[in-house]
Amino acid sequence: MRVTTVFNRVLNLAGTRVLAVRFEADAVVVTVSRRKRLLTCPCGATTNAVYDRSTRRWRHLNACQTPVVLEAVICRVNCRGCGRVRTEQVPWARPNARHTIMFEKVVLWCARRMDKTAVAALMNTAWETVDAMITRAAGDPSTLTRLDGLRRIGVDEISYKRGHRYLTVVVDHDSGDVVWASEGRNAETLSRFYTELGPNRCAALEAVSMDLGFPFRNATITAAPQARICGDPFHLLKMASDTVDAVRRRTLKDIKDPHLRWALMKRPDNLNPHQQQLLDQLAADNTDAWRAWSFREELRRVLHTSPEHATSAIDHWLDTASASPVAPVRNLARRFRAHRELIINAIELRLSNGRLEGTNSKIRLLNHRGYGHHRPAALIALILLACSTENPT
């Protein structure tokens, strides 16, 4: 069997044939050519109009610990489709790339699970090369299919660096993928997402979950007024828990038992016997802390009520909490009343930002694994690669 036949079968490159193989001091050089006679422009058009030719090399995966390099004559074409002189598209590599598609696939697979420095050392390439591959794979979000077919999305911000540096992250509730991310956490930031989404895809949005802040809400109302905005139940319960803790610090500061705080913070089914005993004593004394705890647990039940009873349940809770003798509970009810529609939407549609909280944990791991990122663009590209099931390769 000829060596060219062996390398044809070993490399298994679609639309490519091996012409020759030679061994150099530090690599195996495989001369290849495309099988099709017509040349393909990166715009997709085919042509025979050759502007000029040159020889180019691409790094491929190692073979038996020996670097493999593909070499081919590549043409610049005078394309009528785009009216420009551009380098032809070859089947084994991306436009303007100096590595084969197979090499990039391995790098991207490793980048999902390792830091860039480790990937660069494993693949015997430069750190900048790995970073460029990740950025190229993430691509322009407005041109990728990850923005198509969005119906229910969640929006949240996450801190990625000291000095109040934040990213705004958008997740598809149906797939769990991160579909967009950008630096900042204000209405202007989210408006950029809706601009890239476009009016037709914005009109298809049915629901958007977020916290109770007004910037994201205002941007959503402006771009997608038909979408139902859902207040995140996690943030609602957190606000209720903060209210309980504030009442405890104000009224029970003389009690030094360290279990008291956890007795008031935990769910009833997670209490140990000692914590349950403390809570029972607070109930017997009819303390303000126990009243605040009772309103929080009632809110938890309301958030899990059936959709058809959502409106009546939240209205009853708001009326009862507004008449509470505990001032922080009344203040909480007043804040929730301003977001009544968002809370009802969350109960009826069963949407929360729980999926985004899990995604934020993964983003923190990515940032920590890379020992931080100096540029937000580098972190965003890594997020879109690692937190999406869409195959960028």
pLDDT of the residue at 139? 73
**Beta carbons of 97 and 59 less than 8 angstroms apart:** no
What are the pLDDT digits (tens) for 249-306? 998 888 777 888 888 998 888 888 988 998 899 899 889 999 999 999 999 999 999 9
pLDDT of the residue at 390? 62
Q: Which of 200, 273, 237, 247 is nearest to 353 (CA)?
A: 237
pLDDT band for position 95 (50/70/90)? Answer: confident
The answer to pTM > 0.95 is no
Distances (CA, A) of 308 to 138, 247, 299, 302: 42, 33, 17, 12
pLDDT of the residue at 146? 80
Q: Which of 271, 273, 259 is nearest to 297 (CA)?
A: 271
Whole-number Å distance between alpha carbons of 128 and 111: 13
What are the pLDDT digits (tens) for 111-149? 999 999 999 999 999 999 999 999 888 876 555 678 888
Whole-number Å distance between alpha carbons of 244 and 239: 9
The domain spans of the chain are 1-98, 99-138, 144-231+355-386, 233-349
pLDDT band for position 388 (50/70/90)? Answer: confident
In this structure, the dihedral spanned by the alpha carbons of residues 271, 272, 274 and 277, taken in order and rounded to 10 degrees, is 40
Residues belonging to the chain: 393
**Beta carbons of 151 and 189 less than 8 angstroms apart:** no
**For the domain with range 144-231+355-386, which CATH number is right: 2.40.160.100, 3.30.420.10, 3.30.413.10, 3.40.50.720?**
3.30.420.10
Is the model more confident about 223 or about 372?
A: 223
